[in-house]
A and B are shown apart, each in its own frame.
Chain A
Amino acid sequence: MTEALFERERSPGEGAGGPRHAGLALARQADGRLTAQREGRSHAVWVRPAFPWTEPARFLSLRDEDEEELALIEDAASLDPVSRVALEEALVVAGFVLEVTRVVAVEEEVEVRHWTVETRQGPRSFQTRLDEWPRSLPHGGLLIRDVAGDLYHFRDPAALDRESRALLWVFVD
Chain B
Amino acid sequence: MPERLGITNMDSSLLDTNRDIIARYTGQPSRLPAELRRRIEQAMDGDPVQLYALVDLDHALRLTESWLALGPRHVALARRVPDDWSWDVRTFERARITVVHEAPGLSASTLTLVGAPGDPPLAVLRFTHRQRGAVENLRFVLEEALEGRAPTSDDPDALYADGVARPIRDAQALVAGRDTAVLRRLLGYLRPYRVPLAWGMGAAVVITGVSLVPPYLAGYLIDRVIRPAQTGAVPAARATAIAWLAVSAMALVYLVRQGAAVVRLRLLAVLGEWVARDLRGELYEHLQRLSLAFFARKRTGGLITRVSSDTDRLWDFLAFGVVDVSLSLVMLVGLSAVLLTLDWRLGLVMTLPVPVFCWAIYRYGEALARLCLRAWRKWSRVTDVLSDTIPGVRVVKAFNQEAREVRRFGEHNDDVTREFNRIHGLWTTFWPVLMLGVHGTTVVVWAFAVPRLLGSGAALSAGTFVSFLLYTTMFVAPIEVIGQVARTMNRATTSAHRVFEVLDTEPDITDVGDPVRLEPVKGRVTFENVTFGYDGVRQVLKGVNFDVAPGELIGLVGPSGGGKSTLVSLIARFYDVTGGRVLVDGVDVRVLDSGHYRRQIGMVLQDPYLFHGTVLENIRYGLPEAGLAEVVAAAKAANAHDFICKLQHGYDTVVGERGQTLSGGERQRVSIARAVLHDPQILVLDEATSSVDTETEREIQQALERLIAGRTVFAIAHRLSTLRKASRLFVIEDGCLTECGTHHELMQHPDGTYRRLVELQMQLQ
Contacts and interface: CB of A to CB of B under 8 A. Distances in A.
Contacts of A93: 61, 105, 108, 110, 126
Contacts, number: 112
B25 A125 contact: yes
A73 to B, nearest CB: 17
A147 B374 CA distance: 21
A170 B370 contact: yes
Contact of B130 (A29, A122, A150): A150
A40 interface: no
A92 B764 CA distance: 43
Contacts of B167: 146-149
Interface stretch (B170-178, B533-541, B587-595): B170-178
A92 B62 CA distance: 12
Interface in B81-125: 101, 103, 105-108, 110, 112, 114, 120-121, 124
Nearest to A145: B107
A150 B129 CA distance: 5
B497 A110 contact: yes
Contact of B168 (A97, A148, A171): A148
A98 B107 contact: yes
A121 B61 contact: yes
23 contacts: A32-B110, A33-B112, A52-B106, A94-B103, A96-B57, A96-B106, A96-B107, A110-B493, A114-B25, A122-B64, A124-B27, A126-B26, A127-B171, A127-B172, A147-B168, A147-B171, A148-B129, A149-B132, A150-B129, A170-B377, A171-B374, A171-B377, A173-B415
A77 interface: no
Contact of A96 (B101, B105, B172, B174): B105
A135 B415 CA distance: 16
Contacts of B493: 110
Tier of interface size on chain B: 35 or more
A37 interface: no
B484 to A, nearest CB: 17
A11 to B, nearest CB: 19
A95 interface: yes
Interface residues of A, number: 42
A7 interface: no
Interface string A10-42: 000000000000000000011111000000000
Interface in A82-106: 92-98
Contacts of A29: 120
A-B interface, 10 closest residue pairs, ranked by CB to CB distance from nearest: A122-B63, A151-B107, A111-B172, A149-B129, A110-B497, A31-B121, A148-B167, A147-B167, A96-B108, A148-B130
B328 interface: no
A109 B168 CA distance: 12
Given A133-B380, A150-B129, A170-B373, A94 B498 contact: no
Interface in A108-125: 109-112, 114, 119, 121-125
Interface of A: 1, 29-33, 46, 52, 65, 92-98, 109-112, 114, 119, 121-127, 129, 131, 133, 146-151, 169-171, 173
Nearest to A171: B377
Interface string B572-593: 0000000000000000000000
Contacts of A30: 120-121
A31 B132 contact: no
Contacts of A32: 59, 110, 124
Contact of B124 (A31, A98, A119, A126): A31
A163 to B, nearest CB: 14
Contact of B57 (A112, A121, A123, A151): A121
A94 B494 contact: no
Nearest to B163: A148
Interface string B417-454: 00000000000000000000000000000000000000
Contacts of B120: 29-31
Nearest to B369: A108
Interface on chain A toward B: helix, strand, loop, or mixed SS?
loop
A170 B62 CA distance: 29
Interface of B: 25-27, 57, 59, 61-64, 101, 103, 105-108, 110, 112, 114, 120-121, 124, 126, 128-130, 132, 167-168, 170-172, 174, 370, 373-374, 377, 380, 415, 493-494, 497-498, 501, 764
Contacts of A65: 101
B106 A110 contact: no
A94 B25 contact: no
B63 A119 contact: yes
Nearest to B172: A111
A4 to B, nearest CB: 10
Given A111-B498, A124-B63, A170-B370, 20 more contacts: A46-B103, A93-B61, A96-B57, A96-B105, A96-B106, A96-B107, A96-B126, A97-B106, A98-B107, A111-B172, A112-B172, A119-B63, A121-B57, A122-B63, A123-B27, A125-B26, A127-B25, A127-B172, A147-B168, A147-B171
B425 to A, nearest CB: 16
Contacts of B494: 110
Contacts of A170: 370, 373-374, 377
Contacts of A119: 63
A31 B25 contact: no
B105 A125 contact: no
B483 to A, nearest CB: 19
B25 A121 contact: no
Contacts of A122: 62-64
B377 A133 contact: yes
Nearest to A45: B103
Nearest to B121: A31
Contacts of B124: 31-32
A146 B130 CA distance: 9
A109 B26 CA distance: 15
A44 B172 CA distance: 41
A7 to B, nearest CB: 15
A171 B108 CA distance: 25
A151 B106 contact: yes
A109 B126 contact: no
A131 B383 CA distance: 13
Nearest to A46: B103
A72 B732 CA distance: 35
A44 to B, nearest CB: 8
Nearest to A129: B171
Nearest to A30: B120
B380 A110 contact: no
A110 B129 contact: no
B500 to A, nearest CB: 10
Nearest to B490: A108
A32 B109 CA distance: 13
